[in-house]
A and B are shown apart, each in its own frame.
Chain A
Amino acid sequence: MKDYAGVVLAAPVSFGYARQSPRGANWFIGCTLAEMLRQAGLAKDDVDGLAVSSFSLGADSAITLTQHFQMSPRWIDQLPYGGAAGLVALRRAARAVQAGDAEIVACIGGDGAAHRAFEGTAANFSNFTIDASFPYGAGGPNTAFALITRHYMERFGATREDFARVALDQRYNANHYPPALLGHKTLSLEQYLGARPIAGPLHLFDCVMPCAGGEGFLMMSEDRARHLGLPYCHILAAGELHNAHRDDPVQFRGGWTEYADALYQAAALGPEDIDLLQTYDDYPVISMLQMEDLGFCAKGEGPAFVRDTDLRFDGSGQQARKLPHNTSGGQLSVGQAGSAAGYMGIVESIRQLTGRAPHNPVSGARHAMVSGFGMINYDRGLCSAAAILGSAQQ
Chain B
Amino acid sequence: MSKRQTMRQRLKLNRPSRRRLARPPRQRTPVGMDFTAANLPVALSLQHCSACGAAQYPPREVCGDCLCPTLVWREAETGGTLLAGVDLHHSLWEFFKRRIAQAPWPVASVRLDCGVTVFAHLALHTFSALPAKDAASLPADTRVAVFSHSDASRNAVLIAVSADTPIAERGQRRAIAQQLELTSPAEKPEGI
A interface, CB within 8 angstroms of B: 58-59, 116, 118-120, 122-124, 127-128, 130-140, 142-143, 146-148, 150-151, 154, 196-201, 249-250, 378-379
Chain A contacts for B151, CB-based, 8 A: 135
C-alpha spacing A59/B96, complex, angstroms: 30
Between A and B, 9 residue pairs with Cβ closer than 8 Å are A132-B119, A133-B119, A137-B88, A137-B107, A139-B96, A143-B86, A199-B88, A200-B84, A378-B58
Query: Which of B21-29, B70-78, B169-177 lies on the face that meets chain A?
Result: B21-29
B10 touches A123 (CB 8 A): yes
Chain B contacts for A250, CB-based, 8 A: 83-84, 109
Given contacts A131-B32, A131-B58, contact A199 B7 (CB under 8 A): no
A150 touches B86 (CB 8 A): yes
Chain A contacts for B95, CB-based, 8 A: 138
**Which residue of chain A has the shortest Cβ distance to B99 in the bound complex?**
A137
B107 touches A136 (CB 8 A): yes
Chain A contacts for B32, CB-based, 8 A: 127, 130-132
Chain A contacts for B139, CB-based, 8 A: 154
Chain A contacts for B24, CB-based, 8 A: 135, 138
A199 touches B140 (CB 8 A): no
B18 interface contact, C-beta 8 A: no
B interface, CB within 8 angstroms of A: 3-4, 6-7, 10-11, 14, 24-25, 27-29, 31-32, 35, 57-60, 83-93, 95-96, 104-105, 107-109, 111, 117-121, 135-136, 139-140, 151, 155, 157-158
C-alpha spacing A378/B58, complex, angstroms: 8
Known: A127-B58, A131-B58, A142-B88. 11 other contacts (CB 8 A): A123-B27, A131-B32, A133-B58, A136-B107, A137-B88, A137-B105, A138-B24, A147-B83, A198-B88, A250-B83, A379-B119
A130 touches B96 (CB 8 A): no
Chain B contacts for A131, CB-based, 8 A: 28-29, 31-32, 35, 58-59
Chain B contacts for A59, CB-based, 8 A: 4
* Cβ of B56 to closest chain A Cβ, rounded Å: 11
Could you say which of B58, B91, B92, B96 contacts A132, with CB atoms under 8 Å apart? B58
**Which residue of chain A has the shortest Cβ distance to B6 in the bound complex?**
A124
C-alpha spacing A136/B3, complex, angstroms: 21
C-alpha spacing A116/B83, complex, angstroms: 32
A123 touches B119 (CB 8 A): no
Given contacts A147-B109, A151-B83, A200-B87, contact A136 B119 (CB under 8 A): yes
* Cβ of A146 to closest chain B Cβ, rounded Å: 4
**Which residue of chain B has the shortest Cβ distance to A196 in the bound complex?**
B89
Given contacts A131-B31, A379-B119, contact A142 B90 (CB under 8 A): yes
C-alpha spacing A130/B157, complex, angstroms: 12
**Which residue of chain A has the shortest Cβ distance to B139 in the bound complex?**
A154
* Cβ of A175 to closest chain B Cβ, rounded Å: 26
* Cβ of B37 to closest chain A Cβ, rounded Å: 13
Chain B contacts for A197, CB-based, 8 A: 87, 89-90, 104
* Cβ of B33 to closest chain A Cβ, rounded Å: 9
C-alpha spacing A379/B120, complex, angstroms: 12
**Which residue of chain A has the shortest Cβ distance to B15 in the bound complex?**
A116
Chain A contacts for B58, CB-based, 8 A: 127-128, 131-133, 378
B93 touches A154 (CB 8 A): no
Given contacts A118-B92, A379-B119, contact A123 B25 (CB under 8 A): yes
A120 touches B7 (CB 8 A): yes
C-alpha spacing A348/B10, complex, angstroms: 38
C-alpha spacing A146/B90, complex, angstroms: 12
**Which residue of chain A has the shortest Cβ distance to B141 in the bound complex?**
A154
Could you say which of B29, B31, B87, B111 contacts A199, with CB atoms under 8 Å apart? B87
Chain B contacts for A124, CB-based, 8 A: 3, 6-7, 27
C-alpha spacing A196/B91, complex, angstroms: 13
**Which residue of chain B has the shortest Cβ distance to A128 in the bound complex?**
B58
* Cβ of A204 to closest chain B Cβ, rounded Å: 9
A249 touches B28 (CB 8 A): no
C-alpha spacing A124/B8, complex, angstroms: 12
A132 touches B105 (CB 8 A): no
Could you say which of B11, B25, B86, B105 contacts A147, with CB atoms under 8 Å apart? B86
B90 touches A139 (CB 8 A): yes
Chain B contacts for A148, CB-based, 8 A: 84
C-alpha spacing A371/B105, complex, angstroms: 33
**Which residue of chain B has the shortest Cβ distance to A197 in the bound complex?**
B89
**Which residue of chain B has the shortest Cβ distance to A58 in the bound complex?**
B4
Could you say which of B59, B87, B91, B136 has the most chain A C-beta atoms within 10 Å of its C-beta? B91
A199 touches B119 (CB 8 A): no
B89 touches A150 (CB 8 A): no
C-alpha spacing A197/B57, complex, angstroms: 30
**Which residue of chain A has the shortest Cβ distance to B59 in the bound complex?**
A131
* Cβ of B84 to closest chain A Cβ, rounded Å: 4
Chain A contacts for B28, CB-based, 8 A: 130-131
**Which residue of chain A has the shortest Cβ distance to B100 in the bound complex?**
A137
Given contacts A147-B84, A200-B136, contact A135 B90 (CB under 8 A): no
Chain A contacts for B109, CB-based, 8 A: 147, 250, 379
